Amino acid sequence: MLAGEIMSLKVGEFSRLCQVPAKTLRYYDEIDLFKPSGIDRFTGYRYYTLDQLPQIHRIMALKELGLSLEQIAQLIAANLSTEQIHAMFLHQQQEVQQRVDEELGRLALVRFHLRQLEIEARMPELQIVVKKIEPFSALTLRKVFPAQTDIDQIGHEIQKVVATGTLRSITTPMGILYSDEFKREDQDYEFILPEDSAHIHEVALGNGDTLRPREVHGIEMAATYLHQGDYDTLNEATVSLQRWTVANGYMLGCEMRMIYFRGPMHRVPPTEYLTELQHQIGKA
């Protein structure tokens, strides 16, 4: 080959370079979507060049977005820029991720109900303690969160502040869920950082929220259970605690408190997480 001469590649060679089957390349030629650079008039062999790779990659990228070949032909004719195609891909990626998250959520619910059926068959004896919870001072942040991921985000912001040493006087972190029914979305949740310091000041978080001091009221009667295990099984423990409460003649209150004695911040495996559940109850 002479210097400056463009290398011609047979369809098989080009197929390997672009990771597109040769029969697909032949079909795209037949429908005038992607033509070879030349065809040998004697043998009928199709030949391609390296500078055609960006075009076939663009076609395949649009195909992965779910577009029809007719739509792709129109977009190719419109000569979309790489930035425009990239933006389309980001949008598609977000939609796919949302569908994946929804399916994972449904899978978690199926697993939860299956485990509840198993628990029903061998209802375990839980070590429940009914006790009084005394009031205490704390830094708190209460909001209605649209989804669990929003709660997790605030949790990460609080961990960042704790890591800086700003909140040296806090004791074991807590959370309070306020609800008189089960909600998967729009959860009324309060982050609680008990303070043993006499002087408590507001603490700003990186996302613009603020932890503010307040006196957390006590609870006259709470059914409590110390749960060891990852947070995926925490909901099951909560349901078991609530079931025990009703079965023993108590009424369920609107507060569920969680004290995180051991968790991700302690750098232990999830099987060793230790959480105390405190459910407000009353006499029936």
Query: Of the segments 17-26, 73-82, 123-132, which one has the largest average pLDDT value?
Result: 17-26
Residue 169 in this model has a pLDDT that exceeds 80 = no
Residue 275 in this model has a pLDDT that exceeds 90 = yes
| Bigger pLDDT: 62 vs 273 | 273
Average pLDDT, whole number, for the chain? 85
What are the pLDDT digits (tens) for 196-239? 766 678 889 989 999 999 999 999 999 999 999 988 888 888 88
pLDDT number for residue 1: 43
Residue 2 in this model has a pLDDT that exceeds 60 = no
The pLDDT-based confidence of 7 (bands split at 50, 70, 90) is: confident
pLDDT number for residue 151: 92
Contacts of 150 (CB under 8 A, 6+ apart): none
pLDDT number for residue 119: 60
Please state the rounded mean pLDDT for residues 13-33. Answer: 92
* Per-residue burial over 238-249, b = 16 or more CB atoms within 10 Å of its CB, e = otherwise: bebbbebbeeee
Residue 154 in this model has a pLDDT that exceeds 80 = yes
pLDDT number for residue 162: 81
Euclidean distance between CA atoms 53 and 38, whole angstroms: 15
Please state the rounded mean pLDDT for residues 4-26. Answer: 85
| Bigger pLDDT: 236 vs 6 | 236
* Backbone torsion region of residue 70, taken as left when φ is above 0, otherwise alpha when ψ lies between -120 and 50, otherwise beta: alpha
What are the pLDDT digits (tens) for 101-144? 888 878 877 776 676 666 655 555 678 899 999 999 999 999 99
pLDDT number for residue 199: 62
